[in-house]
Amino acid sequence: MLNLKNNFIMPPIKLGYSDGSGKVNERHITFYRCRCRYLGAVIPEPFYIDKGLREIPTQMGIDSDDKVEGLHALVSSIHESGSRVIAHLNHPGRMANPAIEGNYFISSTDRPCENGGATPKSMDARDMAQVIDLFRNAAIRAEKVGFDAIELQFGHGYLLSQFLSPLVNDRTDEYGGDFENMTRFPLEVLDSIRKSSDLPVIARISGDEMIPGGITTPEMSVFSSLLEKHGVCAIHVSAGTVCSTPPWYFQHMFIPKGKTWEMATTIKKALHIPVIFVGQINTFEDIERLHAEFPTDYIAVGRALVADPDFIGKYLGEVPGAVLPCLACAEGCLGGVKSGKGLSCLVNPRAGKETELVEPAKTPGRYAVVGGGLAGMEAAITLKQKGHEVDLYEKEELGGQFNLAPLTPNKKSLHRLVPYFVQKLKDEGITVLFKDAAPPDLMKYDAVILATGSKPVAPEIPGLDTYFWADILREENLPENKNVLIIGGGLIGVDIATGLIPRNNRITIVKRTTDFGEDMEMIAKKLSLKMMKEKGTVFSDHTHIRKIDGKTVYAERDGENIQFEDIDIIVVSTGMKSFNPLEEKLKDTMPVHVIGDARKIGNAQDAIRDAYETVINL
């Protein structure tokens, strides 16, 4: 295809690092430079081909010549590693971001995405000609800049797939109706690019949109064969649509791993060109399985490289050390982009901050870290990397409350994080002391970092004598076929509910406000609430528990008295409070730094990032 040095490719992942101008900056260049060394090729984030077609305000563009200098610098930087660079060109159609001033919306239809978005104009001949010009000019510019190939987006619910999808395309002209007509415009775009540029063209498709009435794998097999006849050099098989099935589009931990690999295998049978396999490829075992069980030509590894820039280097044996695991959680990579701060990572606080180096300490000291949760372990490791001596105190088990996170049915991938930290502590030679640190233990150190975490808050309710928290998910506590009342419907309450449902427990969950799953990552929230509703969970908002008498719980909802009868188990998840018993005892005797939940209640990403940033700024 491209004479790559190996068959590993980094697929396009939105970074959101631009300043709004669409130009490449040093943050982009450093991000990819840190990840490209052991890859055959890199596909940077999707480029917008018109400023009025942005998905995020901070996207990179390839729409005008003022972008050429920066794009050339990006391409040259990646080329220095021996890796090829592929320009991903996409028109979002009706999926352009309605929150961005100046954006416009066109599609094969005049219907908006059913899950929200702007109402598009149904394209006429003039619109189609303008779109073809945009793609052609972008392709010419990509060749001018020095890209080695173009990837053209035919999938994921964007414009070209809006023509291909029978669920979206409702046209009655020569661009709608039967399969030949629906493929006409996408192929016209491809043909125009092929005539305008000598660069090889890869097609990215959704092997299945994973929604009734949408694009299916058999149709994509036929279409991929057409793409081959029109000169495409490879097919990149993903799944889902940004409109209808985001979990598949983002390859979220809630969806089954390997489904896209099966789609790619089916589609490859119709082709004589290479196929790129993608989708939650985030362990060495995944790569080995692909090589052993699937007809793999190329393997696209994305978010695993966000988590650990040396993931492929470690797989190839070129880089030593444990792999910092991608959890497929989308907390930082998707959440960071949507927040406007740019791509980050739950497990890797350095993601997006590669320009900030961890400088060795000018005066190495001896530190104690108290608390072996995520924040404490991150702090200990970063201290050691800066050249300090470190002892880590933990009175129970390393990992703290995060050990409960993988116990829900769709978050099993989270189990990889704590073992990584434990291994990294060993690799760095950090002593772990399993004891409850008291002030006399700490007087021998130059400074102390307190990562003592948080504890659950229980409301004062008459009769609330026996109850569980998230610890109910531990195997020794896990009930079966019980009536469970969960007081508190935030992230922890919803997670607990999803962990109890598979054991045939009947769940009632109450909340004083209305937003069940508040503060959850959006995909996990939507799918968790969907599961709960399908399994008959009773949701009671605006509910205040007044008292508990045996198996009867008395409450008030919107000013009316209500009761919950025959309750076997009560779970309380009404929030957390910082646990910091040592600061006052130590602050007058030595430097003390408080991190993670002990300083401010947050999530796992907050804890890791706070620990890292605190240490590098010491």
**pLDDT tens for each residue of 436-485:** 999 999 999 999 999 999 999 999 999 999 999 999 999 999 999 999 99
> What pLDDT band is residue 355 in, cutting at 50, 70 and 90?
confident
- The C-alpha atoms of residue 569 and residue 250 are separated, in whole angstroms, by 36
Tell me what the mean pLDDT of segment 126-144 comes to. Answer: 98
pLDDT tens digits, one per residue of 395-416: 999 999 999 999 998 999 999 9
Does residue 69 sit in the same domain as residue 184? Answer: yes
- Say which residues have a Cβ less than 8 Å from residue 256's Cβ, sequence separation at least 6: none
Tell me what the mean pLDDT of segment 418-428 comes to. Answer: 97
* Structure confidence at residue 255 (pLDDT): 93
Over the chain, what is the mean pLDDT? 96
Beta pairing, strands 552-557 & 560-564: antiparallel
- The CATH number that applies at residue 15 is 3.20.20.70
Does residue 444 sit in the same domain as residue 478? Answer: no
> What pLDDT band is residue 1 in, cutting at 50, 70 and 90?
low
- The C-alpha atoms of residue 208 and residue 160 are separated, in whole angstroms, by 15
Q: Where a domain ends, among 242, 275, 308?
A: 275
Asked if residue 310 is part of any domain, the answer here is: no
pLDDT tens digits, one per residue of 189-236: 999 999 999 999 999 999 999 999 999 999 999 999 999 999 999 999
Q: Which domain holds residue 532?
A: 470-574
Q: Is the pLDDT of residue 582 over 80?
A: yes
Does residue 423 sit in the same domain as residue 548? Answer: no
Judge contact between 543 and 512, C-beta under 8 A.
yes
Judge contact between 71 and 79, C-beta under 8 A.
no
Residue 112: count of CB within 10 angstroms of its CB: 17
CA separation (Å) from 199 to 22, 85, 143, 195, 233?
A: 23, 11, 7, 10, 10
> What pLDDT band is residue 487 in, cutting at 50, 70 and 90?
very high
Does residue 545 sit in the same domain as residue 598? Answer: no
- The C-alpha atoms of residue 333 and residue 31 are separated, in whole angstroms, by 13
> What pLDDT band is residue 336 in, cutting at 50, 70 and 90?
confident
Asked if residue 354 is part of any domain, the answer here is: no
Tell me what the mean pLDDT of segment 161-167 comes to. Answer: 97
> What pLDDT band is residue 338 in, cutting at 50, 70 and 90?
confident
- For residue 156, the SS3 value is strand
Judge contact between 210 and 279, C-beta under 8 A.
no
Beta pairing, strands 552-557 & 8-10: unpaired
Does residue 12 sit in the same domain as residue 28? Answer: yes
Asked if residue 51 is part of any domain, the answer here is: yes
pLDDT tens digits, one per residue of 502-517: 999 999 999 999 999 9
Does residue 23 sit in the same domain as residue 154? Answer: yes
DSSP alpha helix (H) spans, 179-283: 179-196, 217-229, 246-250, 259-268
Asked if residue 304 is part of any domain, the answer here is: no
- The CATH number that applies at residue 483 is 3.50.50.60
Asked if residue 281 is part of any domain, the answer here is: no
Does residue 23 sit in the same domain as residue 139? Answer: yes
- The C-alpha atoms of residue 266 and residue 236 are separated, in whole angstroms, by 13
pLDDT tens digits, one per residue of 255-312: 999 999 999 999 999 999 999 999 999 999 999 999 999 999 999 999 999 999 999 9
Does residue 37 sit in the same domain as residue 81? Answer: yes
Does residue 377 sit in the same domain as residue 266? Answer: no
Q: Is the pLDDT of residue 601 over 70?
A: yes
* Structure confidence at residue 525 (pLDDT): 94
- The CATH number that applies at residue 380 is 3.40.50.720
- Say which residues have a Cβ less than 8 Å from residue 552's Cβ, sequence separation at least 6: 563, 564, 565, 566, 567
Does residue 218 sit in the same domain as residue 94? Answer: yes
Domain count, the chain: 3
Asked if residue 347 is part of any domain, the answer here is: no
> What pLDDT band is residue 381 in, cutting at 50, 70 and 90?
very high
Closest to 609 in 3D by CA, of 389, 367, 344 = 344
Tell me what the mean pLDDT of segment 151-162 comes to. Answer: 98
* Structure confidence at residue 20 (pLDDT): 93
pLDDT tens digits, one per residue of 520-543: 999 999 999 999 999 999 999 999
Does residue 178 sit in the same domain as residue 257? Answer: yes
Asked if residue 410 is part of any domain, the answer here is: yes
DSSP alpha helix (H) spans, 316-360: 333-339
- The C-alpha atoms of residue 213 and residue 569 are separated, in whole angstroms, by 43
* Structure confidence at residue 79 (pLDDT): 98
Q: Where a domain ends, among 260, 275, 290?
A: 275
Our CA angle for 164, 166, 171, nearest 5°, is: 85
Does residue 553 sit in the same domain as residue 569? Answer: yes
Asked if residue 93 is part of any domain, the answer here is: yes
Q: Where a domain ends, among 233, 248, 275?
A: 275
- The C-alpha atoms of residue 378 and residue 614 are separated, in whole angstroms, by 10
